[in-house]
Amino acid sequence: MTENAWGYRETSGRLEGVDLTGYKVEAEDGSIGKVDKHSDEAGSAYIVVDTGPWIFGKEVLLPAGTVSRIDAAEEKIYVELSKEQIKSAPEFVREDHLDDTGYREQLGSYYGLGPFGGPFVGHM
């Protein structure tokens, strides 16, 4: 578990300096898309996933704290969320929400991660 919603878990396998763009993203119950953008900024790490046809081509922003494991050999990221949790998350609009701290607080709370430094408490 992570102490910070916006930081990768020590056990995730995140390698510093590795570009995650293009990695496939797997929820607990199936594939959700590919990484379109990511940030490793301390206290503000996330992945933006292009969901393709799954959610009508929308993007979703996932806090790094939701990542349970990264498999660099397979270029896959596993998140500890269901597809339904991701689909029902507050809508993400890149131009409006990428650097919006209010949106990040809302998203962290939605995923049960607390606003910025709260502990990961599991699924909703």
Q: What is the pLDDT of residues 49-89, one digit of tens each?
A: 999 887 877 899 999 999 999 999 999 999 999 999 999 99
pLDDT at 119: 41
Identify the top-confidence range among 7-16, 17-26, 41-50.
Answer: 17-26
φ, ψ for residue 24, nearest 5 deg: -75, 145
> SS3 for 41-72, per residue?
CCCCCEEEEECCCCCCCCEEEEEHHHEEEEEC
Binned at pLDDT 50, 70 and 90, residue 3 comes out as low
What is the H or E stretch that residue 31 is in?
strand 30-39
Residues of the chain with pLDDT > 70, as a percent, come to 88
Q: Does the domain formed by 10-110 have CATH 2.30.30.240?
A: yes
